[in-house]
Structure formats: structure tokens, C-alpha cells
């Protein structure tokens, strides 16, 4: 239903990259679909296939008030004829609370609002079993699509990049995308991850997701040996930003007409720029993965009062 060919590999040219012998490309997964963009369809694709194999009625998943994953699940389910339920963090919210939740509802997703305390239990087996008693024949996908099937959907992405490269760069939230990418690399290639949460243990989180997916310890060590962590660019934590970051996103858009967002891809591209400036990437062929997310960041962009993409 989504044509992966829409995700082009776009070259980024500048005199400063040339001077450093760097070739930079953006893998434009943000072009895949307006609401199922970036890594979202990568993470959902095999989950949807599994859902059909199981003859489930639909997908039940979890997310916060501005979750890109909830929106993508609602849109993808509607597109393939599955039902969807979103368990949303915050029982003060309603389906009218913001544009993302309204859009989820318009795709037919049933939203169930739970307290922050209850939401803490989202990965608990008994809580999930209880949810399935109330919502029978649904297939549970964890928050952010963080499961084995999400991971291998992201692994598939690497095989679709025809451009030879040395380093692939991605923003990191749940680690699902980075785990998949790490599994898809050959032994000369490296993955640079940019966690967007403060104090995030990138390697520990990747290890934990891989071992939950029943991967052997030596296979995990092998995959993680290709990972470079650039963890100084969270800008204070999830959803936090500075004027400097917004200015960077604006000038990147002015120059290359590619929209980044202040939650994920803006931070990752900023981190890459800093690594380039430091000389650490000299002579490398780099692919930056555009994981989408501008839609979900819309309200943060509006609240900032900053005209990010106007110029
Ligand atoms: C736009 C965007 N980029 C990157 C990420 C991080 O991906 P992951 O959670 O798989 O680490 C997310 C979160 O899912 C996201 O919404």
C-alpha cells in the first residue's frame, strides 16, 4: 500500500562538505505518506502482516497526546481495513484535545484515555491481558512500535539504500529504528544514533530490545559494535529545544527545502553537523535517515512562535 520507491536518496551538496571530502545523502522516508511517514510504516508493516495472519480484528497500541506512532497506526489500520484502539497517556485528554488526536479519531481509531499511573503499566503482561479481555481479538503493538517486527521492518530499509555508504545517522527514541538499522549493516558500516531523551542509555536500550527479541548475546554484541552514540544533542530532553536549534532547522530548510522537526530529525541533523565540523566524518559517505515527524511536532512548532518553514 505504501510504495517504498517514494523514499528517494537525496544528495546534499555544499562547498564545506566538498572541502572535507564528505558525501551526504538524506534517505527521504518522510516522503512515504503524510500520516504514516518516516520510520512509522517501517515499524508497522510486519506488525500489520502478523495481524492479518492471526485474523485479528485490529491493532491496539499506546501513545502520548502528540504521538506520531498513534497517528500512523490509526492511518495504516484504516488503509488496510483493520480496526484500531489507542491507549492514550492522560485521562484529562479527549479526542478533541489536539490535532493529532482528532486525526486519529477521523481515521476511526477508538481512543481510550488512561491516567499517567495506569499508563506506566503499558508493557506489563497482566495489564495487557486485561486490556485484551475488554477488547478481544486485538493485536497488541507496544508504544512506538518497539518490538521484533518493528525492528526487522527497519532492518529492511538498509537493503533498500542502493547508494554505497560508510555511516547511517538516525534519531533515537525507543531504539527500534536503530536496532533494525544496526542489524542491516555490513561489518564496515557504522550507525550514528542521536538520542532525543536526556540521560538515555542508547546501548543499554538497544541491548534490551534485542534480547527481548530473543537474539543471542554474541549476535547482539556484533550488531552493537557498529554503533556510535552522539548523546549531547537532546537540547534538555524530549520535546525541549532552543532558538539555536530552531534557527538551524530554518536555515536547513531554506537551503535544501527539507523540513526537519525540533523533536527528532532536527536534533539528529544538528548533531551530524557538529560531528562534521569536528572533522570526525572527513572522507565519509553518509546517509541521514529522515524519520518523518514534522506532523507530530506541529503544535510545538506553532507554540514556539517561530516561523520555521516560511522563509
Ligand atoms: C519522527 C521520529 N523520528 C525518530 C523516532 C525514533 O525512533 P525509535 O523510537 O524507533 O527510536 C521517532 C519515534 O518513534 C519519531 O517519531
Q: Quick one: cell of 299?
A: 503544535
Atom of ligand 1 nearest to the CA of 174: 9
Question: Where are the chain's structural domains?
Answer: 4-34+153-304, 39-145
Rounded Cα distance between 99 and 95, Å, is 9
| Site to substitute for ligand 1 among 291, 300, 301, most atoms within 8 A of C-beta | 291
pLDDT of residue 54 exceeding 60, the answer is yes
61 SS3 class: strand
Into which CATH architecture does domain 4-34+153-304 fall?
3-Layer(aba) Sandwich (3.40)
Instruction: Give residue-wise pLDDT tens across range 57-108.
Output: 999 999 999 999 999 999 999 999 999 999 999 999 999 999 999 999 999 9
Residues whose CB is less than 8 angstroms from the CB of residue 271 and which lie 6 or more positions away in sequence, other chains included: 169, 192, 194, 230, 232, 233
How is residue 86 written as a grid cell?
489507542
Same fold, 4-34+153-304 and 39-145: yes
What are 208-253's pLDDT values in tens digits? 999 999 899 999 999 999 999 999 999 999 999 999 999 999 999 9
Residue nearest (by alpha carbon) to ligand 1 atom 14: 144
pLDDT of 148 above 60: yes
Atom from ligand 1 closest to the CA of residue 150: 10
Question: In this predicted structure, what is the pLDDT of residue 303?
Answer: 85
Give me the pLDDT at residue 304, please: 87
Q: In what order do the strands lie in the sheet with 190-195?
A: 9-12, 23-27, 285-289, 167-172, 190-195, 227-229
Closest by Cα among 5, 7, 14 to 254: 14
CA of 144 to the centre of ligand 1 (A): 7
Distance (angstroms) between ligand 1 centre and the Cα of 15 equals 31
Question: Mean pLDDT, the chain, as a whole number?
Answer: 96
Cα 63 to middle of ligand 1, angstroms: 12
- State the pLDDT at residue 311: 54
Average pLDDT of 269-296? 96
What residues have CB less than 8 Å from 304, skipping those under 6 apart? 241, 246, 262
Share of the chain above pLDDT 70, in %: 100
Q: What is the Rg, in whole angstroms, of the alpha carbon atoms belonging to the chain?
A: 19
Helix (H) or strand (E) holding 282: none
Order across the sheet with 110-114: list the strands. 110-114, 83-89, 58-63, 138-140
Q: Which backbone phi and psi does 287 adopt, to 5 degrees?
A: -115, 125
| Beta-sheet strands, E only, within the chain | 9-12, 23-27, 58-63, 83-89, 110-114, 138-140, 167-172, 190-195, 227-229, 285-289
Please check whether residue 267 is in contact with residue 236, taking contact to mean a CB–CB distance below 8 angstroms. Answer: no
The ligand 1 site (C-beta within 6 Å) comprises: 38-39, 68-69, 144, 171-178, 264, 291-293
Mean per-residue pLDDT, 149-177: 97
Domain 39-145: top CATH class: alpha beta
pLDDT of residue 26: 98
Closest ligand 1 atom number to CA of residue 175: 11
Amino acid at each position: 500500500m505504501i510504495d517504498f520507491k517514494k523514499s528517494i536518496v537525496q544528495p546534499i551538496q555544499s562547498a564545506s562538505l566538498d572541502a572535507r571530502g564528505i558525501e551526504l545523502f538524506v534517505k527521504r522516508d518522510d516522503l512515504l505518506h503524510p500520516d504514516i511517514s518516516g520510520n512509522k510504516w517501517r515499524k508497522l508493516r510486519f506488525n500489520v502482516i502478523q495481524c492479518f495472519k492471526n485474523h485479528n480484528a485490529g491493532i491496539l497500541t499506546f501513545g502520548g497526546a502528540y504521538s506520531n506512532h498513534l497517528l500512523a497506526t490509526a492511518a495504516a489500520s484504516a488503509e488496510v481495513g483493520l480496526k484500531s484502539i489507542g491507549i492514550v497517556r492522560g485521562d484529562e485528554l479527549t479526542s478533541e484535545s489536539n490535532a493529532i488526536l482528532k486525526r486519529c479519531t477521523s481515521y476511526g481509531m477508538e481512543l481510550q484515555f488512561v491516567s499517567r499511573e495506569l499508563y506506566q503499566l503499558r508493557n506489563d503482561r497482566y495489564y495487557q491481558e486485561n486490556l485484551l479481555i475488554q477488547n478481544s481479538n486485538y493485536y497488541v503493538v507496544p508504544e512506538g512500535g518497539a518490538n521484533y517486527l518493528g525492528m526487522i521492518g527497519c532492518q529492511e530499509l538498509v537493503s533498500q539504500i542502493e547508494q554505497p555508504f560508510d555511516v547511517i545517522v538516525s534519531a533515537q527514541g525507543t531504539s527500534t529504528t536503530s536496532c533494525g538499522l544496526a542489524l542491516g549493516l555490513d561489518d564496515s558500516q557504522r550507525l550514528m544514533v542521536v538520542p532525543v531523551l536526556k540521560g538515555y542509555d542508547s546501548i543499554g536500550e538497544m541491548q534490551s530490545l534485542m534480547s527481548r527479541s530473543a537474539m543471542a548475546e554474541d549476535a547482539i554484541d556484533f550488531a552493537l559494535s557498529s554503533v556510535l552514540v552522539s548523546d549531547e544533542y537532546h537540547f534538555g530532553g524530549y520535546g525541549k529545544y532552543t532558538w539555536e536549534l530552531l534557527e538551524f532547522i530554518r536555515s536547513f530548510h531554506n537551503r535544501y527545502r527539507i523540513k526537519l522537526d525540533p523533536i527528532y530529525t532536527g536534533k539528529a541533523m544538528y548533531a551530524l553537523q557538529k560531528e562534521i565540523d569536528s572533522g570526525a566524518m572527513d572522507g565519509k559517505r553518509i546517509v541521514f535517515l529522515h524519520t518523518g515527524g514534522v506532523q507530530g511536532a506541529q503544535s510545538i512548532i506553532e507554540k514556539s512562535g517561530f516561523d520555521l518553514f516560511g522563509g
